[in-house]
Copies of this chain bind each other. A is one copy, B any other.
Amino acid sequence: MAKIQSKRNSTKKEVIIEKASRLFREKGFGAASMRDLAEHVGVEAASLYNHIQSKSEILQTICFKVANEFMTNLEAVEASNQTTLKKMEMIIRVHIRMMLEQYEYVYISDHEWRHLPEPYLSNFLNQRRSYRKRLADIIEDGTAKGEMKAIDPYTAVLVILSAISGIDSWQRSRKSTTAEALESNMVRYLIEGLKR
């Protein structure tokens, strides 16, 4: 075996995906070229294909990595013994932290998924629909138990997820506010709107 390890504890494939995530976020998937990417990796464009199969494979990897991470977390939350309000707070906090800590990946999964080729596109959208449905179910459950106000659960899910995904525009503009402050402010606003 030749070296499959780069300087850090990561495969070259992982390095490529990491650099790509930055590039895709900055320029958009369509406008980012493989020659662009290659330059950032420090290699010729053709050499990338020793590690990846195609440009869209990179996008697939990123999108499903993020989707799986959220889904795994949701399952843990669902299985936990918490009030529905607390469950929602846990989910909101994870979303905010993922957005702050894995900004590039989450951003791409949020904004560039339409460039996924079939059948991955359908797969991704199904997974997303299912995720939102299960979130809405938690809220509906909370309303039924009288823990939350009677709000349309789909609207709530929409507001919550969209609000968090909007942190990207904060990322670029308001480095002055700390991440912790943002998280607590946002949780407060979003959870307060759920309490009865």
The interface of chain A, by Cβ under 8 A from chain B, is 26-31, 111, 114-115, 129, 149, 151-152, 154-156, 158-159, 161-167, 169-170, 173-174, 177, 181-182, 185-186, 188-190, 192-193
Contacts and interface: CB of A to CB of B under 8 A. Distances in A.
A173 B125 CA distance: 10
A76 to B, nearest CB: 24
A28 B108 CA distance: 14
A159 B154 contact: no
Interface of A, helix, strand, loop or mixed by DSSP: helix
A189 B155 contact: yes
Nearest to A172: B125
Given A165-B166, A173-B129, A156 B189 contact: yes
Given A129-B173, A192-B193, A185 B115 contact: no
A159 to B, nearest CB: 4
Contacts of A159: 159, 163, 166, 186, 189-190
Nearest to A191: B193
Contacts of A173: 129
A185 B150 CA distance: 10
A191 to B, nearest CB: 9
Most buried by B among A115, A161, A177, A189: A189
A171 to B, nearest CB: 11
Given A31-B115, A159-B166, A163-B162, A177 B154 contact: yes
A192 B173 CA distance: 27
Nearest to A25: B114
A161 B162 CA distance: 9
